[in-house]
């Protein structure tokens, strides 16, 4: 982005970006004098009726805020030391892997789209615990991930978007270099209090074409589910039947010359068993769907995530739907094949 | 014998931004200014006319001085005065000025609009470009006059291809001299925010805005340009960095409180302004950088410390 080139370079491997941001934050405390004001003599300021000001006064220390910060980090420290060994190890692993990820952070620890490494790390820790010990994910084909920009296209299932979380955890924990994925959210998500902040801090953005193009031009990885809610909220009897794909992702891939990484998730369909959609209730609550789910908590199915070889497409992004649909169908067919192969290889839903 | 300097007229010269621009370009241009309020102790080489843009006599300045360049900064951006007067000064005043520019052979015109004209909407992309529609009036009718002014100037830009009109839309401007609504908001010790929302916000230092205006005049670029500063941070980081403490209020409470306080004059912004601390209104500044090679000098840290109390 416009401000992108001036921001912090990618953090060096092994040095934790969050810690770096914090040391910079403490170094920031005494307000620096502004260069341009220093350069111009005070006499000029006065001549232009600008008065003696311009240089801010020293900030008085805020005891309450500082002690609150201290308490917070102390509490975090105690929690961390109380946590079992394997959680601490996992936390450190995620920290190291995020430091190796190609993220561009400013002095305050935020990237140009509002991602914050600290929040991302804590969130990934929770996801990673589920990834390793609950869904016991097996990821295949991560070596196929291209460097630079990519569009990860996957099947969507399971009533809540755990598949997105597991794919994103796989690309951070097991890909080399680690690749944080950016999700494209629905337009109404930013209106949800608290969730909108969380979504931005872990790398999600509103799914407008401009956001997607900017992020891809920034050589980052975007994940999209062209089935959308149609796929996620389908009833149990339709499991592993790919629903209609949207065309938007293909136009964006053509426009930005982005390779598409097809991904098949096996195991997500059985985590939640839905008898069908209660459309009137969904309309009443103005929700996109209201699935009648049998189990309140996702079942511990084993996830198998297959990353396919990148698919490159060329063509006019503004072509007629017919032309675009043909290309979309190729991606859909590839994901379908990968799902079928995964289902054949799977010996048990839970093990 | 050196060539005579270009004659530059700055409207709204007595304001903080006007003074900074005047100071920045004083060596390159023969500067004169006009403002409704007098500028006490202005430098003697700058002629300052104490006048309202809406007055008939305003045209005399163009007749007599024949400025070849104009920087238009005379906008009412606060809500202290009558909304009717505000609207008239902003819209009718700009229209008058544009007519004069067309009539008296002005070659370069720079107008300082604002990124607020895009509006803060939940579906805004992070980096809105200059083609984004001006949506501010959808939820924030109180400042629709700024969108109208912006549209007037874009029309003018296309109507008079021989005039190098540049419309700048800067992000939140902070600084010691410029009294911006966002600056006033961040200077509060306890800053009301909407609970559960913490949008990314971009900031630019007032001197960088002055520099950008000067750069526009020097290069003579034509077009509509977003103007961004050194980057963006979440609102709450900005509040902390300027020495305040965020006070998150549930949205209905925040809206009703702010609206009531505004009505009795105890708060400087109407409740619709809360959208700007709820949803992002962040813009893409690449076009201006590519056209003028402008880069902000002031970092985010410098920019925040300029309004720290």
pTM of the model: 0.85
Q: For chain A, first and last CA: distance in Å?
A: 45
Measured CA to CA, the distance from residue B5 to residue A348 in angstroms comes to 84
Position B267 scores a pLDDT of: 86
Residues in B closer than 8 angstroms to A191, CB to CB, are 122
Handedness of CA A34, A35, A36, A37 (dihedral sign): positive
A128-345: which CATH number, 3.40.1130, 3.30.70, 1.10.3470, 1.10.8? 3.40.1130
Give the CA angle between residues A183, B172, A11 to the nearest 5°.
Answer: 45
Domain residue spans in chain B?
Answer: 6-305
Beta bridge partners of A72: none
Q: Does residue A119 have a pLDDT over 80?
A: yes
Give the CA distances from residue B266 to residues A99, A241, B183, B242, B252, in Å, rounded to whole numbers and listed in that order: 47, 60, 16, 21, 19
pLDDT by residue (tens digit) across B151-210? 999 999 999 999 999 999 999 999 999 988 999 999 999 999 999 999 999 999 999 999
Position A158 scores a pLDDT of: 84
The SS3 of residue A189 is helix
Interface list for B 21-40 with A (CB within 8 A)? 22-23, 26, 39-40
Q: Does residue B20 have a pLDDT over 80?
A: yes
User: How many C-alpha atoms does B105 have within 13 Å on its Cβ side?
Assistant: 7
Option in A2, A34, A188 nearest B306 (CB):
A34
Interchain contact, A214 vs B286, CB within 8 Å = no
| Mean pLDDT value across residues A323-343 | 95
Domain residue spans in chain A?
Answer: 128-345
pLDDT by residue (tens digit) across A176-201? 899 999 998 888 889 999 999 999 99
- B298 contacts chain A (CB < 8 A): yes
Assembly ipTM: 0.88
CB-based contacts of A138: which residues, under 8 Å, 6+ apart?
Answer: A302, A303, A304, A305
- For residue A256, with 0-12 CB atoms within 10 Å meaning exposed, 13-18 middle and 19 or more buried, which class applies? middle
CA distance A280 to chain B (A): 26
Measured CA to CA, the distance from residue B179 to residue B165 in angstroms comes to 26
- Record: fold of B6-305: Rossmann fold (3.40.50)
Residues in A closer than 8 angstroms to B307, CB to CB, are 56
């Amino acid at each position: 982005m416009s401000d992108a080139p001036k921001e912090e370079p990618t953090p060096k491997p092994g040095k934790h970006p969050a810690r770096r941001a914090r040391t910079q934050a403490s170094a920031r405390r005494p307000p620096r004098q502004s260069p341009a004001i220093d350069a111009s003599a005070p006499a000029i300021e006065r001549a232009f009726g600008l008065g003696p000001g311009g240089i801010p006064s020293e900030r008085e220390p805020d005891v309450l805020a500082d002690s609150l910060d201290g308490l917070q980090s102390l509490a975090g420290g105690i929690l961390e030391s109380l946590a079992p060994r394997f959680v601490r190890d996992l936390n450190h692993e995620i920290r190291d892997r995020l430091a190796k990820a190609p993220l561009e952070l400013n002095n305050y620890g935020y990237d140009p789209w509002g991602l914050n490494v600290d929040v991302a790390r804590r969130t990934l820790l929770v996801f990673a615990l589920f990834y390793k010990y609950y869904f016991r994910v097996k990821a295949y084909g991560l070596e196929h991930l291209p460097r630079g920009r990519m569009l990860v296209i996957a099947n969507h299932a399971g009533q809540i978007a755990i598949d997105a979380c597991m794919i994103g955890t796989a690309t951070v924990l097991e890909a080399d270099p680690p690749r944080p994925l950016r999700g494209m959210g629905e337009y109404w998500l930013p209106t949800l209090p608290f969730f909108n902040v969380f979504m931005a801090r872990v790398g999600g953005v509103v799914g407008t074409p401009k956001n997607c193009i900017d992020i891809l031009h920034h050589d980052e990885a975007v994940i999209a589910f062209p089935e959308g809610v149609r796929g996620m909220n389908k009833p149990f009897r339709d499991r592993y039947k790919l629903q209609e794909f949207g065309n938007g992702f293909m136009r964006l891939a053509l426009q930005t010359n982005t390779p598409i990484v097809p991904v098949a998730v096996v195991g997500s369909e059985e985590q939640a068993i839905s008898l069908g959609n209660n459309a009137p209730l969904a309309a009443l609550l103005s929700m996109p769907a209201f699935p009648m789910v049998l189990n309140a908590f996702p079942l511990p199915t084993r996830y198998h995530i297959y990353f396919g070889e990148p698919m490159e497409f060329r063509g006019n992004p503004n072509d007629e739907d017919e032309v675009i649909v043909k290309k979309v169908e190729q991606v859909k067919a590839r994901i379908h094949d990968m799902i079928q192969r995964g289902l054949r290889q799977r010996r048990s839903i839970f093990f | 014998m050196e060539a005579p300097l270009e004659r530059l007229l700055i409207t709204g010269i007595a304001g903080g931004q006007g003074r900074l621009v005047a100071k920045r370009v004083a060596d390159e241009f023969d500067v004169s200014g006009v403002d409704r309020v007098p500028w006490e102790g202005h430098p003697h080489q700058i002629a300052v006319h104490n006048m309202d843009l809406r007055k008939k006599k305003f045209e005399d300045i163009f007749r007599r001085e024949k400025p070849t360049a104009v920087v238009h900064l005379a906008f009412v951006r606060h809500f202290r005065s009558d909304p009717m007067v505000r609207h008239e000064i902003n819209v009718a005043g700009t229209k008058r000025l544009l007519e004069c520019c067309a009539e008296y052979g002005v070659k370069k015109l720079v107008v300082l609009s604002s990124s607020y004209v895009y509006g803060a909407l939940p579906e805004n992309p992070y980096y809105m470009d200059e083609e984004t529609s001006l949506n501010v009036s959808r939820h924030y009718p109180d400042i629709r006059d700024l969108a109208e002014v912006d549209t007037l100037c874009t029309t003018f830009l296309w109507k008079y291809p021989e005039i190098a009109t540049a419309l700048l839309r800067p992000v939140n401007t902070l600084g010691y001299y410029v009294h911006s609504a966002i600056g006033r908001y961040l200077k509060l010790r306890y800053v009301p925010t909407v609970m559960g929302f913490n949008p990314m916000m971009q900031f630019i230092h007032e001197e960088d805005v002055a520099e950008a205006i000067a750069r526009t005049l020097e290069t003579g670029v034509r077009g509509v340009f977003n103007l961004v500063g050194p980057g963006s941070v979440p609102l709450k980081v900005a509040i902390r960095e300027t020495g305040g403490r965020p006070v998150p209020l549930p949205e209905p409470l925040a809206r009703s409180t702010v609206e009531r306080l505004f009505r009795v004059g105890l708060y400087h912004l109407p409740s619709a302004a809360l959208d700007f601390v709820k949803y992002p209104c962040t813009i893409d500044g690449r076009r201006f950088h590519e056209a003028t090679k402008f880069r902000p000098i002031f970092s985010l840290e410098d920019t925040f410390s300029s309004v720290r109390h």
